[in-house]
Structure 1
Amino acid sequence: MENVSKINTNLVLLGVVEMEHLWYLYATLAVIIYLSTMMLSLMIVYIVWSEETLHEPMYIFIGNLVINAMFGNSAVLPKLAIDLFLGFDTISVPACLLQAFCYQSFGSLELFTFTAMAYDQYLAVCHPLRYPTLMTNGRAFQIILAILVFVSLSIGLTVVLAARLSMCELYINNVYCETMSLLRLACGDTSINNIFGTSWTVTVVGSCFLVVIYCYIRTFLVCLKISVDAYQKAIHTLVTHIVTFSIFMATSLFVIFWYRLGSGFLSTIAHVAISITGLIVSITLNPLIYGIRTEALRVKLIVNLQKINLWQ
């Protein structure tokens, strides 16, 4: 069959096709979720940037996590809403590859940021005297920069490997593009892609997971030995990290194994529901959880919201 991975070729998003019968409902929900999440995220980023008392590594990492949520949000929901409003159900191959890069970069950045936050919490609790020298604001920005470079290169390679394949089908069983869906369209040898993807998942994801678990266990054990006030503060922060990381890992691993073990047993609408739920959970809950459970952010958010009400 002719190679369909050409500049002027469009791929069909079957997930959008399935949603067309209630397009007005899904489009409205996409717009509401996108705008509300972006507003809350922008407010958190502004607070972290403008309040000097929050210029600490922990809040820098939270700000990066929220910015990444905005990035992932913008990679999927605006196009989905536009497609539903205008009745589009296709995407060009270059646009599909770009969306796949953005979507997978979002997930990888999320993983590495959670790992950096766990390490930061570990240093703050387990090495409090050395913490000011071990983790400075400059060091936090260096870690974030290193994460961005590594993710861009590794995910870029993943997308390049997918782009080289010949595609024998035009139908993507989702509402957005990612490389695992593209591999299902390929009619050539995908062994290199599978080996690279599996190796990346096992080594990188596995290593980050082990680092996070180690940091959390060590942090918890030290918390048991410190004063009551320090214990309550440290545990509060630790629980917040664990909750958000657990939600992220649960949704991510479910989607990964679901693809690897075969998603052909599920209908298109079930496929869409699972994948879009995993994305929405990550982009909406992180700003909400950190905005509500982090006291300094919560106080500043309330103050800013009260100012907005006064202006009205």
Structure 2
Amino acid sequence: MSSSSKNVSLTVTNFVLVGLIEIESFRYVCAVLALALFSVTLFMSSMIVYITWTEKSLHEPMYIFICILAINGMLGNSSYYPKLAIDLLSGCSTISHTGCLCQSFCIQIYASSEMYIFTAMAYDRYLAVGHPLRYHTLMTNFTTQKISLAIYVYNGVLVIGSILLTLRLTFCGVNIHNVYCEILSLIPLACNDTTINTIYGMVYTSSFAIVCLLVTIYCYIRTVVICLKLSAESSQKAMHTLMTHVLVFSIYSITLLFITMRYRLNRSTVITAFDILIPLIGTSIAISANPLIYGMRTKVLREKIVCNLQKIIGNAK
């Protein structure tokens, strides 16, 4: 390492979010959209959590998982939209080293936990349709809570490991080609060897992605096969619930794939605007889609949300 590189690495206390500079011309429009999506998504997620918590009839594994998914969405929502909107409105395009690691931690916990929750939900629906007589024994509310806790403990340990490996790095560059901070954005900026970080990240990402995809797809296929053997009414109800899960899972998986694949591309061949739009739009869709789709497509939740909104409007008058 040259002396100039050492000097640069010692003075890097802030990173520049190049994505914010690239959308400078549209920053007020993007800020308004970010605030709108943040408000709507947070409201819908809060309503889902509140309704699931207060309605005893919804104290069932499927709704508990939807509630956990909404809580996880609130984590991703809060770690992404507020800073994005504030930065756009203030014209700030930098983030501190500590702030970068904190945002990276929250976003990575959200992203990996989301995939595991989807997998647990797919397995839950498979048990409900495939083993209806044993379902309430195999999947109790307590089992659901244990699975959810295990997901966060497991992911928390792995993400902390990723953060600790990043803390040992010194940086020669400051330009992050994104609108937010994440671990993968920091690796190319490091001065020292990042082989361990790269291997850890690849093993961590590929293992949870492959395992979750295989289990989820298997459960979906098995559930569809079983649904085809049921009566028309039972099959229609089960398929409607399953299609809601498949829709949300597909949207999340596709957006996550695009966001991840951009790091595998040769940056010199990628248009800067396209490079910025992928994480901006992709992350926004991934975070916002879940509560909106579940709130609209799940009949019980939709009816409860409408009922609560009518009460709020009535009290306001």
| Cα displacement (A) at 1:5 | 6.1
| Pair 1:151 & 2:171 matched | no
| Pair 1:84 & 2:83 matched | no
| 1:109-138 deviation digits (Å, cap 9, x = unpaired) | 110000000010011111111111110000
- Mapping of 1:1-312 within 5 angstroms? 1-2=5-6, 9-312=13-316
1:123 and 1:48 mapped to 2: Cα distance?
21
Counterpart AA for 2:150: A
Root-mean-square deviation (CA), in Å?
1.5
8 Å contact 1:7–1:94 — kept in the other structure?
no
1:261 and 1:273 mapped to 2: Cα distance?
15
2:157 and 2:148 mapped to 1: Cα distance?
14
Alignment partner of 1:103: what SS? helix
1:61 and 1:7 mapped to 2: Cα distance?
45
| Cα displacement (A) at 1:25 | 1.5
| Cα displacement (A) at 1:307 | 1.6
| Cα displacement (A) at 1:20 | 2.3
Identity of aligned residues (%): 50
Alignment partner of 2:190: what SS? coil
1:249 and 1:231 mapped to 2: Cα distance?
26
Name the TM-score, length of structure 1 as normaliser.
Answer: 0.96
8 Å contact 1:99–1:177 — kept in the other structure?
yes
8 Å contact 2:9–2:191 — kept in the other structure?
no
Counterpart AA for 1:168: C
| 1:180-203 deviation digits (Å, cap 9, x = unpaired) | 100011122111111111112222
Moved more, 118-127 or 196-205: 196-205
Q: How many residue pairs are counted as aligned between the two chains?
A: 312
Gaps of 5+ in 1: none
Q: 1:133 to 1:5 in 2, by over 3 A?
A: farther
8 Å contact 1:66–1:286 — kept in the other structure?
yes
1:7 and 1:237 mapped to 2: Cα distance?
53
Counterpart AA for 1:165: L
Alignment partner of 2:258: what SS? helix
Alignment partner of 2:16: what SS? strand
8 Å contact 1:75–1:102 — kept in the other structure?
yes
Counterpart AA for 1:65: L
Name the TM-score, length of structure 2 as normaliser.
Answer: 0.94
Alignment partner of 1:11: what SS? strand
Q: 1:3 to 1:247 in 2, by over 3 A?
A: farther
| Cα displacement (A) at 1:35 | 1.0
| Cα displacement (A) at 1:7 | 9.1
1:56 and 1:130 mapped to 2: Cα distance?
15
Counterpart AA for 2:212: C
8 Å contact 2:14–2:96 — kept in the other structure?
yes
Alignment partner of 2:264: what SS? helix
Alignment partner of 2:160: what SS? helix
8 Å contact 1:68–1:110 — kept in the other structure?
yes
Q: 1:138 to 1:164 in 2, by over 3 A?
A: same
Alignment partner of 1:235: what SS? helix
Q: 1:6 to 1:187 in 2, by over 3 A?
A: closer
Alignment partner of 2:21: what SS? helix
1:188 and 1:119 mapped to 2: Cα distance?
43
Counterpart AA for 1:70: M
| 1:271-292 deviation digits (Å, cap 9, x = unpaired) | 2211021111112111111111
Alignment partner of 2:189: what SS? coil
Moved more, 258-267 or 247-256: 258-267
| Cα displacement (A) at 1:310 | 1.8
Alignment partner of 1:91: what SS? strand
